[in-house]
Amino acid sequence: MLQLATGGEAVHSNVAEFSRLFDQYHGMVFRTAYRLTGNAADAEDILQNIFLRLIRRPSGHDFTDEESYLRRAAINASMDVLRARQTNSAFPLDEASVNTGSSNVNEMRDCLRRAFARLTPRSAEIFALRYLEDFTNQQIAKMLDMSQVLVAVTLHRTRRQLQKEIRSYYEGRS
C-alpha cells in the first residue's frame, strides 16, 4: 500500500492496481476527452484529473466495470469543460484551424461544441457513447442501467435538439 499526502488527508492506494488501470485506460480516456473537447491540452487536463480523483479514493474500492466508469468520467469532465467554454464564450483555436485555415470546418466544430454543451448531462453522455464511442444502443443501455427504448428515445431527441441548435446558429449568422 502507498500512503500519499493530499492537502492534509492520507490516502491509501494500491500502486500496482492504479498503474494497471492507468496503463490500460489512459489512452481511451484521452481519446474520449479529445473527441469531445477538440483540444489536446483540455484532454490532458481531463485525463490527469480523472486519475488524480481515482488515486485519492480509499483502497479497496471495486469497480464493476472499470472501462465504463472511466469512459463516463471522461465524457462528464469533457462536458464540464465545454460548458465552461460556453459560459466564458472563449473557444481556443485548435491546431487544425491554425495549420489549414479551414474556417468552415472549424466554425462547424465550434457550433457543434456549443450545441453539445447545452445538452443535459445524460443526453450528452448517451450521444457521446453512441456516436463518438460507437457503442450500440444495447451496450449503452446495459452500461447505464436503462432500457434500450429509453436510449433510442434519448438519442432521437438529442439529435433533434442538436439540429435545432445548429440551424438556429446558422440562421442567426445570415
What is the domain-level CATH number for residue 102? 1.20.140
Range of the domain at 111: 2-173
Residue 108: pLDDT over 90: no
Domain count, the chain: 1
Q: What is the pTM of this model?
A: 0.61
Q: Tell me which of 15-19, 27-31, 47-51, 144-148 is least confident.
A: 15-19
Q: Which residues of 106-138 are buried (b: 16+ CB within 10 A; e: fewer)?
A: beebbbbbbbbbebeeebbbbbbbbeebebebe
Confidence of residue 117 (pLDDT cuts 50, 70, 90): confident
Confidence of residue 155 (pLDDT cuts 50, 70, 90): very high
Confidence of residue 103 (pLDDT cuts 50, 70, 90): low
